[in-house]
Amino acid sequence: MDIVQFIAAKRDGQEHHRGELREFVLAAVGGAADYQISAWLMAAYLRGLSEEETVELTGALRDSGRTFPLGHFGPRSVDKHSTGGVGDKTSLVIVPLCASLGAVVPKMSGRGLGFTGGTLDKLEAIPGFRSDLSVEEFERIVSRVGAAIAAQSADLVPADGRLYALRDVTATVDSVPLIAASVMSKKLALGCPSVVLDVKVGSGAFMPDRERGQALAAAMVAIGTAEGRRMAALLGDMSRPLGRAVGNSLEVLEAMETLRGGGPDDLRGHCSLIAGEMLSAAGVARSPEDGVARAEEALRSGRAADKMLELVEAQGGDAESLAAGRLPVASLTAAVHADSSGFLARVDARAVGQAAMALGAGRQRRDDGIDLGAGVVLRHTVGDEVQAGEPLATLHASTEAHLHAGLARLLSAFSVSEAAPAAAPLVHEVIRA
Ligand code: URA
């Protein structure tokens, strides 16, 4: 292909001809220069891509590596994706929850970066847990347990790896069509007939702005629908953290409480809503509402928690320690206190995420190490009445320096007001194909 012409066309705001994006993706994995790929990424970032172009880019990315045929994991297989946030441990709850009710959930997840956490880091807080499964092991566990949670295999969508690495260093990550194509190429490669997306909006989201979140959700639903998948997207609130725990071990412990029918109301409610959509899309429930009712019952009965322990054991993890709540938690603690009495009006998700990172729970760069036992536990949530001097949060760290750094960040996360704040919804809207 004439790559210079191709870049110039997007620079000038033209729509690419059919087939050109596919050639470009082939060139990207076939050794095209970083500067040419980066130049096109910036042109696409500034000029945008049409729906047809986004669908074509997604398909080309998907086909750059190994794919599983549609329905390979069975007609009841369903995938989920969250755009990520602070305290977002929903996969830890939803994957075993849906599997306990007969859906099949082959889940490939990622690690945390910046102020948002990642499912694999959280699961690795369970001693012995292995996420680096071979494709054969992954398939075997999915067929035996009904679910597995593994790191994305290197041969799944390699072209996205190349493009994403360049986007990361050229300020071209937060483009709706580029994110949509990147996320959906991985969902399509996995071959589940149904996909439910949890697109977060608010300060702790990757895409804080609600309108852009809506556009991203709509773009991903359109791509999946064009490829014959049953799609639903929820626009989830991430102005405050989800649940009370932020940090790897702490989040796993909270997820386990939730799987036993306890845990914070917002987390349990959010997980039930997403599970309801997934169970309905997979044909396990008659409707999303029926799916929510079944999900709530599986949490109450202990069925979902049992499935989690089965999954952890199948992936080499110490299910006994998890069941007993014995995970490493950093031993140094400190608290943030309310400076006046009133109602908790704001618990800023981004500030809490940054505090957790300063405590050692997150990584700045992909190859940084993390402290699995560090993090924050919120003692109150938005809308609670609090008294001056009462603890609002407990911080956990392994060194005094980390504890002080986390404390400095966390102080700015809270606002107390005289009047009770309006209740914010867990989910702003649901977009179905
Ligand atoms: N996550 C992805 O997988 N891709 C993006 O582009 C952004 C977030």
Ligand 1 centroid to Cα of residue 172, in Å, is 11
Strand-pair category, 375-378 with 391-397: antiparallel
Q: Which of 55-69, 85-99, 160-174 has the lowest mean pLDDT?
A: 160-174
Percent of the chain residues past pLDDT 90, beyond the cut: 91
- What's the average model confidence in pLDDT over 152-172? 91
Asked whether 182 lines ligand 1 (CB < 6 A), one says yes
Tell me: the pLDDT tens digits for 337-355? 999 999 999 999 999 999 9
Among 264, 255, 322, which Cα is nearest to 97's? 255
Answer whether 3-48 and 332-417 agree in fold: no
Name the residue of 179, 187, 195, 223 to mutate for ligand 1: max ligand atoms within 8 A of Cβ. 179
* Predicted local distance difference test score (pLDDT) of residue 277: 97
Q: Is the pLDDT of residue 284 over 90?
A: yes
Enter the tokens of residue 20: 């050109």
Say whether 232 sits in a helix, a strand or coil.
Answer: strand
* Catalytic site positions: 81, 160, 167, 182, 186
Tell me: the pLDDT tens digits for 381-414? 999 999 999 999 999 999 999 999 999 999 999 9
Atom of ligand 1 nearest to the CA of 178: 6
Atom of ligand 1 nearest to the CA of 173: 6
Report the predicted TM-score, pTM, of the whole model to 2 decimal places. 0.95
CA distance 98 to 253: 19
Angular region, 264: left φ>0, alpha ψ -120 to 50, beta rest: beta
- Whether 375 and 426 have beta carbons less than 8 Å apart is answered as no
Domain covering 78-157+174-324 in this structure, CATH number: 3.40.1030.10
Q: Is the pLDDT of residue 147 over 90?
A: yes
CA distance 94 to 278: 9
Tell me: the pLDDT tens digits for 298-323? 999 999 999 999 999 999 999 999 99
* Predicted local distance difference test score (pLDDT) of residue 419: 95
Domain covering 3-48 in this structure, CATH number: 1.20.970.10
How far are the Cα atoms of 88, 318, 369 from residue 126, in angstroms, in the given order?
17, 6, 16
Domain boundaries, the chain: 3-48, 78-157+174-324, 332-417
CA distance 174 to 196: 21
For ligand 1, atom 7, which residue shows the shortest CA distance? 179
Domain covering 332-417 in this structure, CATH number: 3.90.1170.30
Ligand 1 centroid to Cα of residue 183, in Å, is 5
Radius of gyration (Cα) for the chain, nearest Å? 21
* Predicted local distance difference test score (pLDDT) of residue 366: 77
Residue 153: pLDDT band by 50, 70, 90 thresholds?
confident
3-state helix, strand, coil in the chain (%, to 5): 45, 15, 35
Name the residue of 160, 167, 188 to mutate for ligand 1: max ligand atoms within 8 A of Cβ. 160
Tell me: the pLDDT tens digits for 194-235? 999 999 999 999 889 999 999 999 999 999 999 999 999 999
